[in-house]
Amino acid sequence: MEINIKWHKKNKMLKNATIEQKIKWHEEHARHCCCRDSKKHLLQLKKKIPLTVKNHQVVARNSRKHKAWALEAAKEARKVLLIFEKENPKDNRPRLAIEAIKAWATGKKRA
């Protein structure tokens, strides 16, 4: 088991790394270094990820794919928003929900 010191110096694990960031680090680690068995550790990490399901596909919660799906759903909801608001002019909850989804999925603050 040889350690790739150069790689380790360049690629420090973030202090408050998310599970996804840890998985990414360990995947990269496995490619560049043999100082420990990353495969076993990766499997343990992947078991910790909460999952979400769409069309029988499973993705990690808060992953890029999950956010892409959410944006898709927000886009569809936006199409019928005006119809809803015409009938419920005082109810802004759907609009706020769509904005919240967009903010979460893009990492931007709400407008």
- Name the segment binding Zn ion (CB under 5 A); options: 25-33, 63-71, 90-98, 102-110: 25-33
58 counts as binding Zn ion under rule CB under 5 A = no
Q: Which residue is listed with tokens 């990690």?
A: 60
Q: Residue 7: what are its φ and ψ, rounded to 5°?
A: -65, -45
Query: Which residues from 28-57 bind Zn ion, rule CB under 5 A?
Result: 33, 35
Total residue length of the chain: 111
13 binds Zn ion (CB under 5 A): no
Nearest to 42 by CA among 32, 31, 59, 30: 30
Is position 25 an interface residue for Zn ion (rule: CB under 5 A)? no
Q: Which residues bind Zn ion (CB under 5 A)?
A: 33, 35
